[in-house]
Amino acid sequence: MRKPELIILPSPAALAEEAARRFIDSARQAIDENGQFIVVLAGGSTPTGLHSLLAQPPYREQVEWSRTFVYFGDERCVPPDHPDSNYRAARETLLDHVPVPQAHVFRIHGEMPPVTAARAYALLLRRNFGLRGAARPHFDLLLLGMGDDGHTASLFPGMPALEERRRLVVASGVPHYVRPAVSRVTLTLPVLNAAKRIQFLVTGANKITALRAVLTGREPDTPLPARRVRPAQGELTWLVDEAVAKGLRGSSYG
């Protein structure tokens, strides 16, 4: 694959604006080429700024929401109305404020037992994308965040889910330091790496060490999950703010 693109923005607000612009561009291109736009939303707090922009003018009117299909990269194993639910966060900050058909939103059912929820989401992907055998879905845009331990989606350092190569979706526990301390359901690395466009959104000085390790190769003994996001065919872009980009000074990315 080609070298990942790194774009450094002066603030989280500027990062959200750039991410919104790229979201709109991805939607237009996908709809022009295939008549639909298939996007995977990220969990956590970082996408909130992007969601808030897309939920209001002038950004909201620039996306053909009727042709947009929404999936999720991971979910906490809680009910959809729980404060820790990724779906609830996306609904409150974005989905309730744009005219995307409810039938086009495919949430992970975190209220189910984790293994059951993972199997159900994998079956949904296979059905919706018409997958057979070892085929993977090819999302138009996959949004990801990164934790200060280098995790992305719910793929954590040292957890078995990180090594999954066959299944599309798996249930996973979390390391002892992770909060909330609930099981997760997550897309696997082969699915992430099959996306046409992958965009990481990373803010905050607490992620300096992880970002430097992921982008420059100087990583601790435990391989960082975000470093393994390396699409063979798709585009990979890192949108980061100045606070976290400080750690890249003096490197090939600095």
164-209 tens-digit pLDDT:
999 999 999 999 999 999 999 999 999 999 999 999 999 999 999 9
Domains detected in the chain: 5-238 (3.40.50.1360)
Half-sphere CA count of 161, side-chain side, radius 13 A? 28
Q: What is the average pLDDT across 112-138? A: 97
- Checking if the pLDDT of 250 tops 60, the result is no
- Checking if the pLDDT of 76 tops 70, the result is yes
In this prediction, residue 46 has a pLDDT band, given cuts at 50, 70 and 90, of: confident
Map the chain to HEC letters: CCCCEEEEECCHHHHHHHHHHHHHHHHHHHHHHHCCEEEEECCCCCCHHHHHHHCCCCCHHHCCHHHEEEEECEEECCCCCCCCCHHHHHHHHCHHHCCCCHHHECCCCCCCCHHHHHHHHHHHHHHHHCCCCCCCCCCCEEEECCCCCCCECCECCCCHHHHCCCCCEEEECCCCCCCCCCCEEEECHHHHCCCCEEEEEECCHHHHHHHHHHHHCCCCCCCCHHHHCCCCCCEEEEEEEHHHHHHHCCCCCC
In this prediction, residue 45 has a pLDDT band, given cuts at 50, 70 and 90, of: confident
- Checking if the pLDDT of 112 tops 70, the result is yes
CB atoms within 10 A of CB 59: 18
- Checking if the pLDDT of 220 tops 60, the result is no
Q: How far is it, in rounded angstroms, from Cα 78 to Cα 198? A: 26
Q: What is the average pLDDT across 121-144? A: 97
In this prediction, residue 232 has a pLDDT band, given cuts at 50, 70 and 90, of: confident
How do beta strands 37-41 and 141-144 pair?
Answer: parallel
- Checking if the pLDDT of 254 tops 60, the result is no
- Checking if the pLDDT of 221 tops 60, the result is no
| Each residue's pLDDT tens digit, 13-32 | 999 999 999 999 999 999 99
CB 154 within 8 A of CB 170: no
What mean pLDDT is reported for the chain?
94
In this prediction, residue 3 has a pLDDT band, given cuts at 50, 70 and 90, of: confident
- Checking if the pLDDT of 44 tops 80, the result is yes
Task: With CA atoms as reference, report the closest residue to 63 among 92, 15, 20.
Answer: 20
In this prediction, residue 223 has a pLDDT band, given cuts at 50, 70 and 90, of: confident
Q: What is the average pLDDT across 43-62? A: 95
Q: What pTM did the predictor assign?
A: 0.96
- The pLDDT value recorded for residue 143 is 98
